Amino acid sequence: MRTVITGGTVVTADAASPMDVLVQDEKVAALAAGFSGLSETWQEAADRVVDATGKYVVPGGIDAHTHMEMPFGEPCRPTRSRQGRGRQHGVARQ
C-alpha cells in the first residue's frame, strides 16, 4: 500500500517544515519539499492521498499514552505494561 500525505507541516526532532510524505508498506519511505514536484509523481502511483493542509504531520510518531492501571496515591510498583495499546499516527490534528 502506498500513501501520500500532502500539504502538511512535517515536524521532526529538529524542525518543522512544509513537506509531503510518502508512506510505503506502513513505513515512511521519503520526504519532499512541496515545491519539488515529487509529490505529484508519487500521487500517480498512490493507493491513497491524504490532504493534511493546516495540520501537523509527525512521520513515525507513536502515541505512547497508555494507562498502566497503577493505583493513584500509592507508591509506584512494577506492573505489567500494556504498551501495545498505543496508536501509531502519521497525521496529528492541531
CA distance 65 to 62: 9
**Are the C-beta atoms of 29 and 59 separated by less than 8 Å?**
no
Name which residue leads in pLDDT, 77 or 26: 26
Contacts of 9 (CB under 8 A, 6+ apart): 16, 17, 18, 19, 55, 56, 57
Q: How much is the pTM? A: 0.64
Q: What would the pLDDT profile of 18-45 be if each residue is shown by its tens digit?
A: 999 999 998 899 989 877 778 888 888 8
Average pLDDT, the chain: 76
Using only the alpha carbons of the chain, give its radius of gyration: 17
CA distance 36 to 25: 23
Residue % of the chain over a pLDDT of 90: 35
